[in-house]
Amino acid sequence: MTQRLFYDDQYLREFTGTVVKRLTHDGKPAVILDRTAFYPTSGGQPNDTGTLGSARVLDVVEQGEEIVHVLDLDPPGDSLKGAIHWDRRLDHMQQHHGQHLLSAAFVEIAHAETASFHLGDETCTIDLDKAVTPADLDAAEDRTNRVIWENRAIAIGYFTKEEVAKLPLRKPPQVEGKIRVVRAGDFDCSACCGTHPRSTGEVGVALVLGLEKGKGGARVSFVCGHRAVAFARKSHAILRGAGAKISSSRLELEAAIERIQAEAGEARKALRGAEKRLAGLDAVELAATAVAKGKARIVVKVLDGRELEYIRAVATEIVAKPGMIALIGGAGCIVLGRSQDLGVDLRPIGKEALAAIAGKGGGPANFVQGGGPGDVKAALTLAEQKIGVL
């Protein structure tokens, strides 16, 4: 059994342990020590990293009563000095205990229990067992930060099942034997095997980032401590940079964006009108070049750089007159259209033309459209050959 030093002193940064077993884990060298300060991935909290002798600790895995240290190389010696990557440990303590406080706040404010917790590389999430509102988010964040700033002492102890039954636990434990309980004053009492700071003040600050609604519940994303400061700093830099690009202060940025969006909408509307008129002019010009084939006149043309919406408009204008067939291509797209007075079914022809450009599409018998990455000109030539003489 590996002695877990992190349970007794979560601020222990260096220690010495004796190798009791050498092995491989997922193809990498690994060791089991008689004692360790490296926390293994457990309970939603990732593992510690650091060094063991001359090796870097890549992963820490709990296997029954033993803890496996996965390394980048097999370090020599039976006695190894371990050093914890402290910044990572402190970050995990801030995030994990911040989750405890935030979860307790959601119980108090919205009667929402935490079903699961995930501590990610950038953000953290808690899954609640019921839906909550944005107002609940704000209230829970405020309540959590008040408890943090009150700098309440955090106590950790071990209790029997009978003793635990008398404690105000937020959730009943699912383990047997001695149960590790983490308490933040009289605000939160939880069974937990993770690492935690000595006081709530060391969490620094809790910042709720967002809310995702799920079936019968909700997912809340958040960051605490140094992560919250880094997030706020980055967000401020983004806002400042965005404001500089549109000559707006941070406080006026939202109104400036709304103004730009309205102007862009008007510009898009005007552009669509201009393109419609231009498509009509292109249609007139192309119709004049139509080649007679039996009962119809056919137009075959690739309009370089034009999108599907534009070539569709051109083709529609051409076939609005009787006796016309339009085979128009653009930027990775084709349209095959015919006038209503013609009886040719363009669907099988369009299917072959679209296959020629490895594309997808479809439509009624008189108007087939679609797109793909292949040679548009070759596809139109194929379609013209398939139509033949009517």
Query: At 287, which CATH number?
Result: 3.10.310.40
**Tens of pLDDT along 59-111?**
999 999 999 999 999 999 999 999 999 999 999 999 999 999 999 999 999 99
H or E element: which one contains 293?
strand 291-293
**Tens of pLDDT along 266-317?**
998 998 888 889 999 999 999 999 988 888 899 999 999 999 999 999 999 9
Structural domain range at position 174: 90-233
**Tens of pLDDT along 137-149?**
999 999 999 999 9
Task: Please state, in angstroms and rounded to a whole number, the distance separating the CA atoms of residues 126 and 113.
Answer: 10
- The two tokens of residue 262 are 């309205």
The pLDDT confidence band at residue 245, using thresholds 50, 70 and 90, is confident
Looking at the structure, tell me whether residues 113 and 47 fall in a common domain. Answer: no
Last residue of a domain, one of 31, 49, 84: 84
CATH code of the domain covering residue 188:
3.30.980.10
The pLDDT confidence band at residue 49, using thresholds 50, 70 and 90, is very high
Looking at the structure, tell me whether residues 225 and 113 fall in a common domain. Answer: yes
Q: What share of the chain is helix, strand, coil (3-state, %, to 5)?
A: 35, 30, 30
Full strand arrangement of the beta sheet holding 360-362: 291-293, 296-302, 324-329, 333-338, 367-371, 360-362
Looking at the structure, tell me whether residues 320 and 359 fall in a common domain. Answer: yes
H or E element: which one contains 234?
helix 225-245
Looking at the structure, tell me whether residues 50 and 78 fall in a common domain. Answer: yes
Residue 352: count of CB within 10 angstroms of its CB: 13
Please check whether residue 164 is in contact with residue 192, taking contact to mean a CB–CB distance below 8 angstroms. no
Looking at the structure, tell me whether residues 126 and 227 fall in a common domain. Answer: yes
**Residues found in the chain:** 390
Q: Is residue 260 part of a domain?
A: no
Task: Please state, in angstroms and rounded to a whole number, the distance separating the CA atoms of residues 66 and 335.
Answer: 67
H or E element: which one contains 310?
helix 308-319
Compute the mean pLDDT over every residue in the chain, rounded to the nearest whole number: 93
- The number of distinct structural domains making up the chain is 3
According to the model, what pLDDT value does residue 321 have? 93
The pLDDT confidence band at residue 343, using thresholds 50, 70 and 90, is confident
Q: Choose between 18 and 236: higher pLDDT.
A: 18
Last residue of a domain, one of 212, 233, 254: 233
